[in-house]
Amino acid sequence: MRVYLDDERSTPEGWVRVYWPDQAIALLRQGGVTEISLDHDLGDDARGTGYDVIAWIEEAVALDGFSPPLIRVHSANPSARLRMEAGIAAIGRLAVQPHEPNRVLWTSSNRSRGADARVRFELTGLGADGGRRRVLDDYRPHYRIRPDYHTSARHRFLDATEVLSGESAEAEVWLLTPEHYPGTLWVGRRLELSEGSRPVGFATVLEVFNPILLGVETPPERI
């Protein structure tokens, strides 16, 4: 099955048309998708973008050993296209690694490995109606770890049960596959957070627990 995610373009012959990320993900879950082509801007960011499909595939490959289909991007949004292609490259790197079924990256209710870092989480994004929005414990946005690399993260708030737009809270953070971006966190680093293509806030690093991720803001000069 070849799946075509788009809100406006004509469906190519031989492709199954879907209009929203959750529809594409449902077909991926069912199995049998050999190729998927993704637009990014779908007319309603509140329902998601094509990048959300990339993020789902990345997590499914990392956590479940999901075998990804051939992924194409046909978006005319140049910055979104670059970001999606970076995500596809990350999926490719994950897919060639042997899957470890007993490897625990995170779980929602019982995090079997320690948190990677402690951060000051700031929610700046508004709701679809322009009003203040609310996020709860276990919130999972994407972190812009490098200019060309975003990764999923899960939060456990330490001094709040919820965070509203314009508010902040301390949180422990679990990042997806930290071994793919070593040395990228240091105390004081402020990272951009997003949901798909939508900026939602920032995270300022207060403490780094995972030695793989520990880096320095300005690497020392080589002697």
Closest by Cα among 136, 135, 138 to 107: 138
- Of the CA atoms within 13 Å of residue 132, those in its CB half-sphere come to 8
Cα–Cα distances in angstroms (integers) from residue 217 to residues 130, 150, 188, 207, in the given order: 36, 19, 9, 14
**Can you give the pLDDT at residue 102?**
46
Q: Are 7 and 18 in contact (CB under 8 A)?
A: no
pTM to 2 decimal places: 0.64
> Which residues lie below 8 Å from residue 200, measured CB to CB, with a gap of 6+?
123, 124, 125, 141, 193, 194
Q: Give the pLDDT of residue 19.
A: 97
What are the chain's domains?
2-95 (3.40.50.2300), 117-208 (2.40.30.10)
Pull the structure tokens for residue 66: 């999901």
pLDDT at 100: 56
Predicted local confidence at residue 194, as pLDDT: 86
d(CA 148, CA 126): 25
pLDDT tens sequence for the chain (223 residues): 999 999 999 999 999 999 999 999 999 999 999 999 999 989 887 788 898 899 889 888 877 889 999 999 999 988 788 878 878 888 887 777 665 554 444 443 334 578 999 999 999 987 767 788 888 888 888 899 988 788 888 899 999 989 999 999 999 999 988 888 899 999 999 999 988 667 899 999 999 999 999 988 754 443 3
Q: How far is the CA of 118 from the CAs of 154, 209, 215, in angstroms?
A: 11, 8, 15
Q: In this predicted structure, what is the pLDDT of residue 47?
A: 85
What pLDDT score was predicted for residue 223? 33
Please give the structure tokens belonging to residue 93: 């790197």
Let me know: does 54 contact 91? Beta carbons within 8 Å: yes
Rounded-to-integer distance, Cα 70 and Cα 198, Å: 25
pLDDT at 87: 81
